[in-house]
Chain A
């Protein structure tokens, strides 16, 4: 940061965006929608929240929480905005460029606060952290040398492997632990309109995640602990080879799949093995209850000679830095959000998907008294077990430092594009990995 000069006084963020408008950019829409604080009056202040959690039940719970908060704090107005997981990073970038970021972002990929923190665009939350009994793991995940730049919104084990026990049993198979068993299982189960699996091959956030996981399971790495780019390595090649080999056992449209499509394929019964968080359970209960007793959570298969590696852990919650950000009000809402009553409702909104990061809530009988949690205790336990071993992408292993640029790497979809180059374009894993290596190196440099 020292070698580049900061934008001068005549060089406002708005100006920059307006200038780019000549090229016909669409991103400006986000900026236009921002709420102007001054319009509301001096006594009242607005806190904008962007969340990726847009299921109707969750939105309703959020709105109830907001009403309750606003009743207690008439001075503060909360504006909730729904943003898709695939879009939130570019939209936040645009919002920061315009100098109008939302106060709070909730349930983003961990890479997002990583990238923002790397650019010094997040408020430290150490004071709030002290007041809430967060699990130590969830605090550690977003603590850089003492600075608490984000919280876990919830524990969300997105790379949980979901299997159809009935279909496995029909083939006389058990839950696959390793890639070879997994491949055999999905081959066997691809029939009668059902696909063995449904992996997100689309050029989006989910494909980045599975690439990240498969590469590391195969012994590869992306950015080494010494911060050198090592994407083009045998582990990456092997992961690509594997993903290409099993492509026929995902639905034909999987090249466009991201979160929603992947989840739907499993919930509707179109795929026998799914990959998603505990939301799988919520959706099955709501949309396809016939599958309730036929699904099971498991550790995602990994190579017999490879690494036990699973991604994720946490969805992030953070407060943006900015001259117009109402930090105190945002923190006030944050305290409220994580207090036992509201936070229990919040995690109940997508039970099993959002696992609590507040110790007292996790242990409370009120939280545990939920039909889905009771019926699927074993699956919840499995997810907790995965989480205890899983890593967040900005700190891929204990040996790695925080890699803030991971947000840019994820945001640029380089890994998803490498995957598509191999699967769609038929490039060799080596060629595609070399291209990816080059792109990631550029991102790390820029």
Chain B
């Protein structure tokens, strides 16, 4: 018996030892920054000097009672939902197109990745130039087509600025959706479509009855990932509009940045970041619940 217990405890020690790197990494990469951020949010801290004083929940009270936070939350939702719908719609449409036996398919598949691989700074510069009021191609084309008489202010007025960043967000990230959906499309057996044709399903019905249900799982993952990423998107919006005009495109990450740096309110920024995380977690819970219910049905 004693031998067994020795072995057992040695096994247990080895087990703990093997687990240790994962635990340490988790603590280092997730727990520690999280705890730190949480602690920051309970303090009043000047970003530049780090002079701090403990203020308990007052940062949260201030953030939650400021209309700025709520407006920013709404803005974030509009941006996230808008660009997500565009990405997924465009992504699925293009994936379906590329799934056809086009002779230029492999070339097109390569090209489609272009926006996704383009560094954000470059993409923003290009789009800023396209949207430029005086020299931009978009205004020029619209004017020469007679759709508009005077140049449109794309980035400095609403809802144009929101539309513009949603368009660019959709353009920048739809290749991700294309790739994921295309990979899935290629695994749907051709026989299902043939069976449906024999069963009298129109092209439309085949899409809704076969393609879409088959894509459901991959779309669920895409929506989840992209929603998280879009919710936290910073560089695209910051560089395109800087949150303007006024604060119409100031999403939560931009608000956090503004509080932390120009306003030097590190504690408040931390509190906003924590709230942002809470909102995101809440949506994830709702999402998973809804999905499970849908799965069971």
Partner of B234 from the list A24, A255, A408, A412 (CB cut-off 8 Å) is: A24
For A413, list chain B residues within 8 Å (CB).
262
Residue numbers in A under 8 Å from B33 (CB-CB): 18-19, 21-22
Residue pair B244, A412 in contact (C-beta under 8 Å): no
Interface residue tally of chain A, by bracket? Answer: 35 or more
Size category of the binding interface on chain B: 35 or more
Chain A residues near B238 (CB-CB < 8 A): 26
Q: What are the residues of chain A within 8 A of B277 when measuring CB–CB?
A: 22-23
One of A9-17, A73-81, A308-316 at the interface:
A9-17
Q: With an 8 A cutoff between CB atoms, is A251 at the interface? A: yes
Contact of B51 among A4, A92, A204, A255 (CB under 8 A): A4
Q: Is A7 an interface residue (CB 8 A)?
A: yes
Q: Is the CB of B264 within 8 A of A23?
A: no
Of A49-57, A93-101, A155-163, the one with at least 4 CB within 8 A of chain B: A93-101
Bits for A108-133, please: 1 = Cβ < 8 Å to B, else 0. 00000001100111000000000000
B274 touching A253, Cβ below 8 Å: no
Inter-chain residue pair count (beta carbon < 8 A): 190
* A5 in the interface (beta carbon within 8 A): yes
Nearest CB on B from A382, distance (A): 27
Any B CB within 8 A of the CB of A306? no
Q: Pick the residue among A252, A412, A446 that contacts B258 (CB under 8 A).
A: A412
Q: Are A251 and B266 in contact (CB under 8 A)?
A: no
B266 adjacent to A26 (CB under 8 Å): no
What does the 1/0 interface line of A252-279 toward B look like (CB < 8 Å)? Answer: 1111110000000100101000000000
- Once the chains are docked, how many angstroms separate the CA of A120 from the CA of B154? 42
Q: Which residues of B contact A252 (CB under 8 A)?
A: 133, 150-153, 156
Q: Tell me whether A22 and B244 are in contact in the complex, defined as CB-CB below 8 angstroms, given that A4-B51, A90-B257 are known contacts.
A: no
- Which among A222-230, A232-240, A418-426 touches the partner chain? A418-426
Q: Name the contact of A251 in the complex, choosing from B46, B133, B248 (C-beta under 8 A).
A: B133
Question: How far apart are the CA atoms of A421 and B241 in the complex, in Å?
Answer: 15
> Contact at B52–A7, with CB atoms within 8 Å?
yes
A23 close to B156 (CB less than 8 A): no
CB proximity of B277 to chain A, nearest CB, Å: 7
Report the separation of the CA atoms of residues A121 and B134 in the bound assembly, to the nearest whole angstrom: 42
Say if the beta carbon of A379 comes within 8 Å of chain B. Answer: no
* A22-B37 Cα distance, complex, nearest whole Å: 7
Asked if residues B156 and A254 are in contact (CB atoms below 8 Å), the reply is: yes
B40, closest chain A residue (CB): A19
| Interface status of B47 (Cβ within 8 A of chain A) | yes
Cβ-defined contact, B261 with A5, below 8 A: no
Name the distance in Å between B218's Cβ and chain A's nearest Cβ.
25
Alpha-carbon gap, A265 to B44, bound state (A)? 43
Q: In the complex, how many angstroms separate the beta carbon of A273 from the nearest chain B beta carbon?
A: 16
B243 adjacent to chain A (CB < 8 Å): yes
CB pair A1 B51 closer than 8 Å: yes
Bound CA span A91–B238, Å: 14
Q: In the A-B complex, list the 6 residue pairs whose CB atoms are closest, starting with the nearest.
A: A255-B156, A23-B273, A253-B133, A19-B36, A90-B261, A411-B262
Binding site for A on B (CB under 8 A): 32-37, 39-40, 44-53, 132-134, 150-158, 232, 234-235, 238, 241-248, 253, 256-258, 260-266, 269-270, 272-274, 276-277
Cβ contacts A to B, 23 pairs, < 8 Å: A4-B52, A5-B52, A7-B52, A15-B36, A16-B40, A19-B37, A20-B273, A21-B37, A23-B269, A23-B276, A25-B273, A26-B234, A27-B257, A91-B261, A93-B47, A93-B264, A97-B48, A251-B134, A253-B156, A255-B244, A420-B245, A424-B157, A424-B245
